[in-house]
Amino acid sequence: MIDSSPATAPDLERQRTWPRSAFLIPVVLFLVINVALGWRLTRNPREFPSALIGKPVPDFDLSPVQRRTLGFSTADLRGQVSLVNVFASWCTACRAEHPLFMQLSRSGAVPIHGLNYKDRPADAAEWLDTLGDLNMRTGADLDGRVGIEWGVYGVPETFVVSANGTIAYKHIGPVTPEAINETVLTLVEQLRSTGQGSQP
C-alpha cells in the first residue's frame, strides 16, 4: 500500500541536501585528479630519479647485435666509468641524439656501451651500419627483459655507471649538448676524482 501521508519537514530537508552532497563527491574527486595530473605534467620527466641510483647494475649477459662480435654483460661495466645508452632503430629520438654520442665517442672522453631494446636484429644492424657504431659493446635485448631490470620505461635512456658497477645517474629522453657537458661529463670526472673511476 502506498503511503500518501504528507512528508515531514526533516524528510524534505534530507531530500534537498542529499542530491547536493551526491553531486559534490564526483566534483571533488574530479578536482583532486586534475590537480595531481597537472602537477605531474609540469614536472620535467628527466627529474624523476631512478630507483636503481646507487645500486649495482643488474646481472645480465646479452649476445651482440647482429653483425657485431662483442656482446654486453654486467662484467663489462667494471673497471672504469662508462655510459650505457638504451636505444632502438624504431626510436626517432634515438636518431636525434646519435650524432652527439658519435662526437663523444670520437673524443674518447668515456666508454659508451649500447643496450639495443626490443629491436629486430636486422633493423638494429642496419641502423648502426648507417648512422655509425659508437659503442664499445652492444647487447641485443630482444625481449626487453634486461631493459626492465634496468628500470627502462622508454627509449632513449642513458646511464652513467661507476667503475665498481654502480648506477650513478640516469638521463631520460634524448641527451642534449648541455646534458652531456654540464651533467654527464661532469659526473664522470667527479667519479674519477673520488676514486670511483677506476679499479686498481
The verdict on residue 199 lying in a domain is no
Tens of pLDDT, residues 117-133: 999 999 999 999 999 99
> In the chain, what percentage of residues exceed pLDDT 70?
72
**Summary mean pLDDT of the chain:** 83
Identify the residue with better confidence: 11 or 95.
95
Tens of pLDDT, residues 19-73: 555 555 655 555 544 444 333 333 344 444 568 899 999 999 999 999 999 999 9
Number of domains in the chain: 2
What pTM, to 2 d.p., does this model score?
A: 0.75
Q: What is the pLDDT of residue 101?
A: 96
**Secondary structure string (H, E, C) spanning 69-119:** CCCEEHHHHCCECEEEEEECCCCHHHHHHHHHHHHHHHHCCCCEEEEEECC
Contact 175, 184 (CB under 8 A): yes
67 plus 26 within the same structural domain: no
The verdict on residue 82 lying in a domain is yes
195 pLDDT above the threshold of 80: no
50 plus 39 within the same structural domain: no
24 plus 98 within the same structural domain: no
Contacts of 37 (CB under 8 A, 6+ apart): none
Identify the residue with better confidence: 78 or 30.
78
161 pLDDT above the threshold of 60: yes
C-alpha cell at position 16: 534537498
Identify the residue with better confidence: 97 or 29.
97
d(CA 196, CA 152) in angstroms, rounded, equals 24
97 plus 140 within the same structural domain: yes
Identify the residue with better confidence: 75 or 45.
75
The verdict on residue 76 lying in a domain is yes
d(CA 188, CA 197) in angstroms, rounded, equals 7
Where in the sequence is the domain holding 86, given as residue range(s)?
46-193
d(CA 86, CA 92) in angstroms, rounded, equals 13
188 pLDDT above the threshold of 90: yes
37 plus 63 within the same structural domain: no
The verdict on residue 23 lying in a domain is yes
